[in-house]
A and B are shown apart, each in its own frame.
Chain A
């Protein structure tokens, strides 16, 4: 079974631009979560989608948004990029929304904002 895939793997943008990242979960997984990883802040939860609905949201500004499609694939969008948005963005999928469920992570998209 294929793992979680994320595209693109690397991205360079300039301040003020917007970016869209894509995540394809493991087949059969309906929950998709997004995390931002930076050296200073560590791993921080962005948001989670389940059955095309946002179920949970972290403490990020409204410039960060996402959506999920009927095939469970998810995209996240960051508008008006800032230098501080440079990070590794990780997507994770799970079958169910349950505290005991394992979430499987993709390889991440590394975003550099210049």
Chain B
């Protein structure tokens, strides 16, 4: 079946450090890939998405590239800020389940000043 695997957390970094959160997926067909972020006490916000192979999604300094050959969609940011502290979810949707999002387990990120 379709699934998403992302790196275990928590991840703790110092401010201005480089961030990578790994995400790999298993899916039939050609899924769309998403990164959502959840701040404490809030719902989910879309961070970025990519809908076909080699697409790069970007937003607020975060980037992720849809790599079909490695079935990956790793999240990166060059210089993190304290305000980036949150839980990050990698997710996918497929044609066969158009509105059903399959989420990874989430990675908690904490940034030290």
Contact = CB atoms under 8 A, between A and B. Distances in A.
A64 interface: no
B44 interface: yes
B106 A42 contact: yes
A24 interface: no
B42 interface: yes
Contact of B42 (A45, A48, A107): A107
Interface residues of B, number: 25
Contacts of B51: 99-100
Nearest to A57: B100
Interface residues of A, number: 27
A14 interface: no
B106 to A, nearest CB: 6
A35 B106 CA distance: 15
Nearest to B91: A43
B43 A99 contact: no
A95 to B, nearest CB: 11
B43 A90 contact: yes
B100 A45 contact: yes
A33 B100 contact: yes
Contact of B99 (A31, A43, A106, A107): A31
B105 A106 contact: no
